[in-house]
Structure 1
């Protein structure tokens, strides 16, 4: 591998760290267990594995590596999800889903699809931040009140 190729991969890794940190910022700001470091690490790891795989020039090997990133981070997400104290609901679904999607951002960077990666990171941040907007909170509250009335 040439120094130029290594510098390009290093640039992808740095961008992955930034995008992962941006996605994790909202989680960190609201005191969630997975935050900036977790999301940045997931995005960086996916970008490294994908970049190295793409550099090998073996499409089959690269496809297997990407497939294993999807499965591996899905497994990580499964470990994040747990039952709440009442036993009726679950916790960690959003964290698991957005961690998985953050790995996809890293894979996308590793495959040189920078606009898709940046756009997806912005969309994920928006989805996480949406939870704290007043109109969304009011809508969700009214939805739950309607469910209670039906019971």
Structure 2
């Protein structure tokens, strides 16, 4: 039998060691994700780590180091597709990026194990778990800092509500006043609200602004004929 001819005890034991480490380290990473009820939890991270280790180990045994390097390249791109499956967009918010990145790192841990770099795989696991746990309080502290429009670069939108007949004039007024205040406009969108109202949305070029200056522009535009309401908002979606 071909299997009996290719079986070698020492390489087999080496494979057992690689897959065992990938299983244990993947379980450590996945346990933290499972505890936080993330989409990709314990089993997913274990399977990613063990799968990556199996492919790399197989390539090492068949084609040596060069073959393992080629397989690692495919593992990296393949896990990218898997990670995309856990990323979800809800309105302006995106969820799952951290979970996808963790899966990517689990594959790296498995690749280390498959390449017999056991110490490196263990070290990488420590950094992954530390990144998902020790940095959390720092992230929460940063998120609690009030948003400073003058010091931050973001996407700003100035919105005016008008009637369809006044739309062309109001749109030109909006752009002209923003340009005069040295806030260039990158795009203008028109949103219909029924038959009697439309909303003109001017998207500013990503830059830092002074809220008082934008407030002054919006206040002035609200006094113009045909303008029903005006407002502006900032977001960091880009």
Give the structure-1-normalised TM-score: 0.87
Is residue 69 of structure 2 the alignment partner of residue 63 of structure 1? yes
- CA offsets 1:29-81 (integer angstroms, 9 cap, x no match): 11112111111110000001101100113444333321111111011011111
Which ranges in structure 2 are unaligned for 5 or more consecutive residues? 1-6, 151-210, 212-233
Distance in 2 (alpha carbons) for counterparts of 1:28 and 1:132: 16
Distance 1:9 1:92, change over 3 A: same
Which one of the candidate residues 96, 103, 106 is aligned to 1:92?
A: 96
Distance in 1 (alpha carbons) for counterparts of 2:41 and 2:68: 29
Q: Which runs of 4+ in 1 moved over 2 A?
A: 57-64, 130-133, 147-151
Which ranges in structure 1 are unaligned for 5 or more consecutive residues? none
The DSSP-based 3-state class of the residue aligned with 1:31 is coil
Distance in 1 (alpha carbons) for counterparts of 2:20 and 2:86: 26
Distance 1:130 1:5, change over 3 A: same
Q: Name the structure where helix makes up a greater proportion of residues.
A: 1
Distance in 2 (alpha carbons) for counterparts of 1:132 and 1:63: 34
Q: Quote the RMSD (CA, aligned, Å).
A: 1.9
Which one of the candidate residues 119, 122, 125 is aligned to 2:123?
A: 119
Higher Cα radius of gyration? 2
Give the structure-2-normalised TM-score: 0.57
Q: Name the structure where strand makes up a greater proportion of residues.
A: 2
Q: How many residues align?
A: 146
